[in-house]
Amino acid sequence: MGKRLWPVCRRYGVILLGAAVYALAFSWCYGPNQIGFGGVTGLAQIFHYLLPALPVGAVVMVLNVPLFLLGWRLLGGGVLAGSLVAMACSSLFIDILDALVTFPPMEPMLAAVVGGAVLGTGLGLVFAQGATTGGTDLMARLLKLRLGWLPVGKLLMGLDLVVILAVGAVFRSLLSALYGLVALTISTGVIDRILYGIDRAKVAYIISAAPEEITRAIVRELERGVTVLEGRGAWSGTEKQVLLCAFKQRQIVELKALVKSIDPAAFLIVTDAHEVLGDGFREYGKDEV
């Protein structure tokens, strides 16, 4: 019983931590400096600006109701349960922080940089548990079902961009929107680093006159697997073997040196891999984004 309960407690513990970090980013950096915030929280920021008596967190909860109803069937109760907890707690934490602490304004660019990093950390923790904080975060999770090839951070950026521009228009401040874009760019990068890893993977395609020797060297020295593809030169018509190898970004210098030491004339193509799942890399989680 305890073994089955621990993963659930751990998941919701991380979600609560992410929600608290999210609330801290808004109350510490965004709110006091009128920096444009994306998503439903950004819309709540607009309502609060026009009607100061409306608490930001309470407005976020109300605006999220139709989105959660929309996502219930598509994402299932398991995902939405975590998202409900994250949304409710982050909204509650925002209102509690605003009631207990008055954060002084800081230099706007510093607020944008720090706020973006802190916000991205909070959202990354929540997303890593297969949940969202609602709003455009939930919309990004829904779009991910159709646009699986796009990173979540990029989806979120597109959705939040519209709201940030709206916040800047309501505040009648171009700087508010521009600082919001700076913070959004930073938070997007942090989210993707948390979700997909700091050490991005690479894929190499190698065409050489010594494929067997290069394969043995990669397996032995880099401890990476190699897949042999059969190819044919379009101009010469010559049959060739194309070596396919996925490896960590930190190994790129070693791989290039190894290939060129064996065959200086080898044709080498190195590309970015969005993510690599399997032996030697990370494992797949059914609720991941």
* Each residue's pLDDT tens digit, 207-252: 999 999 999 999 988 888 899 999 888 888 888 899 999 888 778 8
154: phi then psi, degrees, rounded to nearest 5:
-70, -40
Residue 160 has pLDDT above 90, yes or no: no
Q: Which amino acid is at 104?
A: P
The encoded tokens of residue 54 equal 């409306």
Q: Strand pairing partners for 277?
A: 282
- The confidence band for 269, taking pLDDT boundaries of 50, 70 and 90, is very high
Cβ neighbours around 102 below 10 Å, total: 9
State residue 283's pLDDT score: 57
Q: Strand pairing partners for 227?
A: 244
**Domains recognised in the chain with CATH numbers:** 2-196 (no CATH), 201-273 (3.30.70.120)
Cβ neighbours around 273 below 10 Å, total: 14
Q: Enumerate residues 6+ apart whose C-beta is below 8 A from 246.
A: 201, 202, 203, 204, 224, 225, 273, 276, 281
Gyration radius of the chain's alpha carbons: 23
Digit-coded pLDDT (tens) for 100-153: 999 999 999 999 999 999 999 998 998 888 777 777 766 776 676 666 666 666
Measured torsion, CA atoms of residues 20, 21, 25, 27, in degrees rounded to the nearest 10:
20
- The confidence band for 279, taking pLDDT boundaries of 50, 70 and 90, is low
Distance CA(166)–CA(171), nearest Å, equals: 9
DSSP 103: P
Digit-coded pLDDT (tens) for 75-97: 666 557 787 888 889 999 999 99
**pTM listed for this prediction:** 0.69
